[in-house]
A = this chain, B = another copy of it.
Amino acid sequence: MEKKIPRPVIKRLGLYYRCLNRLYDEGIEYVASKDIAERLGIKSSQVRKDLSYFGEFGKRGVGYNTYELMERLEDIIGVNKYWNVIVIGAGNIGSAIANYEGLRKEKFNVIGIFDADRSKVGRKIGRLTVKHFSEIDDFFKKNIVEIAVLAVPENAAQMVVDKLEELGIKGIVNFAPVKLRTNIPVEDVDITLSFKSLSFKIERNIE
């Protein structure tokens, strides 16, 4: 195993990738760490340090070849492949995610959406039809599913995770406000927490 990548670096890789995409679209052939940093509001030495965890991609005196670095980042992050995603929970958040073009653009394909509420089953969400959660075993037999989005009520979350783990899911994006007990990678997204952080900042006059 190579040396450990710090968490914040992982978070920034996606930012770099997006930035490189932009630069490429703008027709910029070579870019310096200073320019990337400026666009992202960070330090150039941080950009260079972060990239150095994965190799030497730049030319001294010149900078980074936009296209090349973009491709390297694709390999590193794993966005050079398509990911099959299912959404569990066809409420507000689940539906929005299933419909979200931004995800598709980044090669995360939502191929199924499930709910435990029979009254939601059969409903159309974009090109998808809501299936009952009990159909999930069957779905896994017929499809390759790598990532699951958890958009179910808090009290159902752990049970769903146990099931997904058993079915061999590779990772979970969790919108339920609970700490999940599982061994597979989880990314927690908590929207109300963002609002609370914001209200805290407003009250304290931060930034």
Q: Which residues of A contact B (CB under 8 A)?
A: 5, 10-11, 13-15, 17-18, 39-41, 76-79, 83, 85, 92-93, 95-97, 99-103, 106, 108, 146-147, 170-173, 177, 179, 183-187, 189-204, 206-207
Give CA–CA (A190, B190) in the complex, Å: 11
Kindly report how many copies of this chain are found in the complex they form together: 2
Give CA–CA (A193, B15) in the complex, Å: 8
Q: Closest residue to A42 on the B side, CB-wise?
A: B179
Least Cβ–Cβ distance between A9 and chain B, in angstroms: 10
A183 proximity list for chain B (CB < 8 A): 207
- Given known pairs A92-B99, A96-B92, the reply for A173 and B194 (CB within 8 Å) is yes
Which residue from B18, B40, B100, B195 sits with its C-beta under 8 Å from A103?
Answer: B195
Which residue from B99, B106, B190, B200 sits with its C-beta under 8 Å from A196?
Answer: B106
A78 proximity list for chain B (CB < 8 A): 196, 199-200, 202-203
Q: Closest residue to A204 on the B side, CB-wise?
A: B5
- Given known pairs A13-B196, A192-B103, A195-B103, the reply for A171 and B202 (CB within 8 Å) is yes
The 6 A-B pairs at the shortest CB distance, nearest first, are namely A96-B96, A14-B196, A185-B201, A78-B203, A78-B199, A187-B194
B18, A177: Cβ atoms closer than 8 Å = yes
A102 proximity list for chain B (CB < 8 A): 177, 191-192
Give CA–CA (A11, B194) in the complex, Å: 8
